């Protein structure tokens, strides 16, 4: 995990993190995210935002990246929270119906139900060798 604190003139608070691509990082990421929400006085978002963030991160860490990290950005604007998670798959995320007995496949359904807005943007990433790799940024927003 790496941390890169930043400030954006349009946002009250912006925090960027790079998470190692292992499922063991998800509980830690939830804890760090909750602490950040408390620090920026955004506790009102905690339950829904933490669940949505966990779901997006859980999906993204399964997609290998050149540096072994999944990068996230948390942005608190006046009246809304936006969370972005990057991955190296150009495939669009989609909400699917899953078998009631299945242990996975419900994450985006939860994001769809809880977030005020969510979506994705196709993008490219530097590959570290002078080239580019396709990918996307999956995001959600919660409004007050």
Q: Which residue has the higher pLDDT, 16 or 106?
A: 16
Q: What is the mean pLDDT of the chain?
A: 88
The pLDDT assigned to 11 comes to 57
Q: Percentage of residues in the chain with pLDDT exceeding 70?
A: 85
42: domain range?
2-143
The pLDDT assigned to 96 comes to 63
Total number of domains constituting the chain: 1
Is the predicted pLDDT of residue 5 greater than 50, yes or no?
no
Q: Give the SS3 label for residue 38.
A: helix
The model's pTM: 0.86
For residue 117, name the pLDDT band (cuts at 50, 70, 90).
very high
Q: Percentage of residues in the chain with pLDDT exceeding 90?
A: 74
CATH no. for residue 130? 3.30.565.10
Q: Give the SS3 label for residue 25.
A: helix
Q: What order do you get walking across the sheet with 13-20 strand by strand? A: 2-6, 13-20, 69-77, 80-87, 132-143, 117-126
The string of pLDDT tens digits covering residues 73-105 is 999 999 999 999 999 999 998 776 655 555 555
The string of pLDDT tens digits covering residues 12-46 is 799 999 999 999 999 999 999 999 999 999 999 99
Are 55 and 111 in contact by the 8 Å Cβ rule? The answer is yes
């Amino acid at each position: 995990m790496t941390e890169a604190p930043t400030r954006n003139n349009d946002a009250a608070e912006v925090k960027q993190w790079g998470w190692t691509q292992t499922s063991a990082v998800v509980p830690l990421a939830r804890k760090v995210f909750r602490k950040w929400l408390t620090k920026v006085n955004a506790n009102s978002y905690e339950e829904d935002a933490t669940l949505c963030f966990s779901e997006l991160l859980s999906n993204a860490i399964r997609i290998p990246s050149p540096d072994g990290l999944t990068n996230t950005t948390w942005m608190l604007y006046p009246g809304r929270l936006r969370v972005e998670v990057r991955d190296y798959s150009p495939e669009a995320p989609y909400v699917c119906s899953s078998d009631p007995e299945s242990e996975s496949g419900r994450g985006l359904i939860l994001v769809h139900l809880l977030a005020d807005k969510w979506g994705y943007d196709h993008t490219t990433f530097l590959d570290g060798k002078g080239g580019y790799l396709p990918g996307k940024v999956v995001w959600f927003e919660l409004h007050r």
